[in-house]
Amino acid sequence: MDLNSPNILCKDHPDFKCREIGSLKALFTLEGKKCLVTGAAGGIGRSTAKGFAELGGDVCLVDIPSKKDALERICAEIEQAYGVKAIYALGDVSDENSMMECIQTADREFGTIDVCHSNAGIILPGDNPDIGVAEFKRVLDINLIGMMMVSRACANIMKRDGHGGSIVHTVSQSGHIVNTNWKDDFGYAYHVSKGGALHLTHAMALQYIKYGIRINSVSPGVVLSGIHDPIPVCMMRNAVEKIPIGRFGYLQDVAATVAFLATDLAAFCVGTDIIVDGGETLY
Ligand SMILES: NC(=O)c1ccc[n+]([C@@H]2O[C@H](COP(=O)([O-])OP(=O)(O)OC[C@H]3O[C@@H](n4cnc5c(N)ncnc54)[C@H](O)[C@@H]3O)[C@@H](O)[C@H]2O)c1
């Protein structure tokens, strides 16, 4: 819509008329798009990378060097299953040089980046009210500052190439509520990092939409991604009882939401956060 057009407010102007919908299915595609996912060796990142590939996108999976074998295996699975290009880059999103090298790998191999899922994150077992300052900063460095650096670097490539794009942040229900799911003395670092990530989504969305770059986020509740495997069954039972739908989230629940936000189905979503938690944050 060209708001500078002298005819824009003329009632005959095509941009100013109620339009019937076109094909929704046709919008649900990433055919030919170049996608980057951080934390891609983990449960949620792996599944969104697969989702992007199923929709036709080439994918670059980013994770820390110790996840090299997992990334190699996931890339091979993706290429075989979906016939797209799947590459990986090893690095630490909280280290600016390392993070930039990962983004540059994707840019060099693909020629651009159209979609980014800025997803890497950690929870420290020692995240309690007495958490040390160094540990607190470590959580913010990865979950918030790392997210910002990845998203900004991808947005700058989209801006450079002038084609717009879509960036999705992984926030959390803990960005909305003080989450006492697991223990009463759960600390502040994770909550603060995710609350910051939620508002980062809003602030960056406003900055970049003028370049056609949509930035949105997903806020999962408790999702069985593998990170809860060490938690005792009795604690898991307590946790599931708090979820109105009566089950934990599955990887597909999050991947579906990220895929929606990444495609043109979400063309009017700007700075939107979608909570995917089975109703847990309703009360
Ligand atoms: N699983 C849940 O219940 C849940 C709920 C809400 C939000 N989240 C968020 O979803 C995201 C993914 O979590 P997940 O459940 O898939 O966990 P996960 O532990 O399976 O995956 C996280 C991935 O991030 C990677 N990572 C950690 N630090 C990194 C760094 N410095 N640089 C690059 N990669 C790094 C890890 O190696 C791992 O592969 C996180 O941001 C997490 O906070 C998860």
Q: Whose CA is nearest to atom 39 of ligand 1?
A: 42
Average pLDDT, the chain: 94
- Most ligand 1 atoms within 8 A of CB, residue of 63, 151, 243, 248 to mutate: 63
- The average pLDDT across 105-118 equals 98
pLDDT score of 143? 98
Q: Is 225 in the pocket of ligand 1 (CB under 6 A)?
A: yes
pLDDT for res 181 = 73
pLDDT over 90, % of the chain: 82
User: Separation of 40 CA from ligand 1 center, angstroms?
Assistant: 8
Q: What is the mean pLDDT of residues 184-212?
A: 94
Task: Tell me how far apart the alpha carbons of residues 190 and 179 are, in angstroms, rounded to a whole number.
Answer: 10
Residues 70-106 pLDDT 10s: 999 999 999 999 999 999 999 999 999 999 999 999 9
- The predicted pLDDT at position 18 comes to 85
Tell me the one-letter amino acid at 177.
I
What are the CA-CA distances from residue 16 to residues 2, 54, 114 (Å)?
A: 10, 35, 28
Ligand 1 mean position to 86 CA, how many Å?
20
Confidence of residue 2 (pLDDT cuts 50, 70, 90): low
CA of 190 to the centre of ligand 1 (A): 12
Cα 128 to Cα 126: distance, rounded to the nearest angstrom: 6
Nearest CA to ligand 1 atom 10: 170
Q: Which of 36, 37, 62, 64 to probe ligand 1 with, by most ligand atoms within 8 A of CB? A: 64
Whole-number Å distance between alpha carbons of 246 and 182: 17
Identify the weakest region by mean pLDDT among 16-30, 44-58, 156-170.
Answer: 16-30
Q: How far is CA 38 from CA 5, 47, 194, 231, 283, in A?
A: 41, 12, 16, 24, 31
Residue 277 has pLDDT above 90, yes or no: yes
Cβ atoms within 10 Å of 37's Cβ, excluding its own:
33
- The domain locations on the chain are 28-282
- Ligand 1 near 227 CB (within 6 A): yes
Per-residue pLDDT tens digits for 213-269: 999 999 999 999 988 888 888 888 989 999 999 999 999 999 999 999 999 999 999
190 a catalytic residue: yes
Q: Which amino acid is at 165?
A: G
Catalytic residue, chosen from 82, 88, 190, 208, is: 190
Predicted confidence at residue 16, as pLDDT, reads 77
Q: For a substitution probing ligand 1, which of 168, 227, 277 has the most ligand atoms within 8 Å of its CB? A: 227
Contacts of 220 (CB under 8 A, 6+ apart): 44, 170, 172, 173, 249, 253, 254, 276, 277
| pLDDT-based confidence at residue 3 (cuts at 50, 70, 90) | low
Distance separating alpha carbons of residues 170 and 177, to the nearest angstrom: 15
Tokens of 21: 């919908």
* Res 31: pLDDT: 98
Decide if domain 28-282 falls under CATH 1.20.1730.10: no
Is 208 catalytic? The answer is: no
User: How many angstroms is it from 257 CA to the middle of ligand 1?
Assistant: 17
The pLDDT of residue 12 is above 90 = no
Q: What is the mean pLDDT of residues 119-124?
A: 95
Q: What per-residue confidence (pLDDT) applies to 230?
A: 81
Taking the CA of residue 143 as reference, the ligand 1 atom at the shortest distance is 41
Stretch 186-192: mean pLDDT: 90
Helical ranges in the chain per DSSP H: 24-27, 43-54, 68-82, 96-110, 133-140, 147-161, 189-208, 233-241, 251-262
Q: How far is the CA of 142 from the centre of ligand 1 (A)?
A: 10
* Of the ranges 20-24, 73-77, 123-127, 175-179, the best mean pLDDT one: 73-77
- Residue 5: the pLDDT is 62
